[in-house]
Structure 1
Amino acid sequence: MATRSWIVPGPQEHDVEHVTALRVQLVAGAVSVQAHDAAHVHVAVEEVTGNPLEIDVEDGRLTIGYPFLGWDGWVKRLRSFRSSDTARVRVLVPRATAVTLATAVADAAVEGVHEDVSLMTAGARVRAQGCRGAASVKSASGGVEVLDHDGPVRVSTAAGRTTLVGNLPRVEVTSVAGAVSVSTTSRTSMVDLATVSGAMHVDLPAATGLSLTARTVSGAVTVDGADRRAPGLGATTVDERDGQDVCFLTARSVSGSLAVVRETRAVDRPAAAEDRA
């Protein structure tokens, strides 16, 4: 398929056919991607300050960003990049479009996509809502929200709160200082959490079995409000399996606490005072 490209120095709109994957790379500003029922992609560039954007289409992949930054090794470039380049971009995509968003300090959001989603930021807020498929998030300091999700989620962050809600059969979260909240409606799940100082909270459906291994130096471990932490520095283990509905939960932390609550319905939980980080 022929390559097509546009230089975008200011507000413009483009409709693009035959796109199966989207990737957007911004420095500052904001990018939002929302699924729609049409077969084409609609790109609305609402603001451009500084260097112009480039829109490029090749072999079914639509790329929006700055050519001089490149795509490979974007983390090192964006963390050290100092620029006034700002853009605000809104994109409508077919639901079966894979989405990758990478920003320095531009907030990023994706909604309603039924393919894999990858979100990467150096210091902005990122959110995925109502998506299906695998979600992957990497953040240096921004808050992370994956809400009403159906599929596995993997998050790596240094600071900033992580909130995950939905039918989550597999969850992996690595965080340094940010609090982690996981609410899953999946009755069979594998959850792996690791923090240094961030508090961890896991909501499970009522009567879900639990196979727990938790290692903390000073953090509390509670299950349904009861203190279950093992004495000393040994691992805390809880094995309460009865039937096939089981959450296999592994947690590791230095000072962060772990609270597991089995409720009638897993819902988004407001941040507790000790979780706000």
Structure 2
Amino acid sequence: MAREKWLLDGPKTIDFDRVRSLKVALISGQIDIVAHDEPGARVEVHSVRGKPLKVSIDDGVLEVDHPQLGWDNFLDVFAYFKGDSSAEVSIMVPRDVALKFGVVSASALISGVETDAKISTVNGEVVIDGVTGALDLNSVNGEVLVRDHTGKVSARTVSGDVTAAGAIDKLTCDSVSGDIFLDLTGMPDDVRVNTVSGAVTMRLAAGTPASYRITTASGRLHLDDSDITGVHGTYTGKYGELSENWLEFKANTVSGNVSVLHAKVTA
């Protein structure tokens, strides 16, 4: 099928029969991406201000592009982008759609996708809810919240906070000053975090065995009910029996505090 495209300056709804990939670039405004059980997709444009919004499809590849600047790595192009165009958009996509997504200052919700996704934000808050697969997250100042996730998470942020919750088996997160909050269910396998001044807080399910290797220059360390004092280098320790399955937790900070908590056993 030949490529089809639209330049939109106002509300419009467009339906597509078959979509296998979605690429989104938005400047400001709001975008919601919700997965459904159909092979097709629907783009609902509620409003557009400033530059027209470009929508195109080519051989199952759907693109929603407001800045209309070519990009592969979103932050390489848009980290210092200046523009005041905005749009409000809702998109329904198949659950297995391949997703590549970036916003400058727009707020975003991504829900129900069951495939790997690459998601970037400069200043906008991004909420990722009920997604299954490997997440590749990149932020400058925007807050990223991952809820009810199943799979792997890899995140990089400068000053934006990162929150990740769910059945996450492997997680890596690098931060400068952004705080990292983790609420992990099940039996995670490997968590590695690095910060300069950002704090790290991790909550585990009751009884989850774990090994700890935590390096800090001046950050405080709190493990369950204990404050570990005098750590100016590397602390190693464990919780529970390290046999067959347990979490390997490694953290490196300069001045960021590290806290690890286990949920209380419920009757």
TM-score bracket, normalised by the shorter chain, equals over 0.9
Question: How far apart, CA to CA, are the structure 2 residues paired with 1:162 and 1:44?
Answer: 29
Match of 1:249 in 2: 249
Match of 1:235 in 2: 234
Match of 1:26 in 2: 26
Match of 1:17 in 2: 17
Alpha-carbon displacement from aligned partner over 1:151-181 (angstroms, at most 9, x marks no partner): 1011111112211000000011111111111
Question: How far apart, CA to CA, are the structure 2 residues paired with 1:81 and 1:157?
Answer: 17
Which sits farther off after the overlay, 36-45 or 256-265? 256-265
Question: How far apart, CA to CA, are the structure 1 residues paired with 2:90 and 2:79?
Answer: 24
Written as runs of structure 1 = structure 2, the 5 A alignment for 1:57-76 is 57-66=57-66, 68-76=68-76
Written as runs of structure 1 = structure 2, the 5 A alignment for 1:81-120 is 81-120=81-120
Give yes or no for contact 2:127–2:144 (8 Å, CA) kept in 1.
Answer: yes
Question: How far apart, CA to CA, are the structure 2 residues paired with 1:158 and 1:140?
Answer: 5
The one-letter amino acid of 2:194's match is A
Written as runs of structure 1 = structure 2, the 5 A alignment for 1:171-210 is 171-210=171-210
Written as runs of structure 1 = structure 2, the 5 A alignment for 1:19-58 is 19-58=19-58
The one-letter amino acid of 1:206's match is A
Question: How far apart, CA to CA, are the structure 1 residues paired with 2:246 and 2:97?
Answer: 32
Q: Which runs of 4+ in 1 moved over 3 A?
A: 239-242
Q: TM-score, normalised by structure 2?
A: 0.93
Alpha-carbon displacement from aligned partner over 1:50-80 (angstroms, at most 9, x marks no partner): 1111111123210010464112354243233
Query: Quick one: percent identity of the two aligned structures?
Result: 31
Match of 2:261 in 1: 261
Aligned pair count?
264
Question: How far apart, CA to CA, are the structure 2 residues paired with 1:189 and 1:149?
Answer: 15
Change (3 A) 1:178 1:32: same
Question: How far apart, CA to CA, are the structure 2 residues paired with 1:187 and 1:64?
Answer: 38
The one-letter amino acid of 1:145's match is L
Match of 1:273 in 2: none
Match of 1:269 in 2: none
Matched, 1:213 2:208: no
Question: How far apart, CA to CA, are the structure 2 residues paired with 1:234 and 1:81?
Answer: 39
Question: How far apart, CA to CA, are the structure 2 residues paired with 1:189 and 1:202?
Answer: 14
How far apart are residue 239 of structure 1 and its match? 3.2
Which sits farther off after the overlay, 56-65 or 162-171? 56-65
How far apart are residue 196 of structure 1 and its match? 0.9
| Contiguous gaps of at least 5 residues in structure 1 | 266-277
How far apart are residue 258 of structure 1 and its match? 0.8
Give yes or no for contact 2:36–2:94 (8 Å, CA) kept in 1.
Answer: yes
Question: How far apart, CA to CA, are the structure 2 residues paired with 1:55 and 1:243?
Answer: 53
Give yes or no for contact 1:208–1:245 (8 Å, CA) kept in 2.
Answer: no
Q: TM-score, normalised by structure 1?
A: 0.90
Question: How far apart, CA to CA, are the structure 2 residues paired with 1:225 and 1:67?
Answer: 50
Give yes or no for contact 2:140–2:158 (8 Å, CA) kept in 1.
Answer: yes
The one-letter amino acid of 1:27's match is I
Question: How far apart, CA to CA, are the structure 2 residues paired with 1:264 and 1:84?
Answer: 48
Question: How far apart, CA to CA, are the structure 1 residues paired with 2:47 and 2:176?
Answer: 34
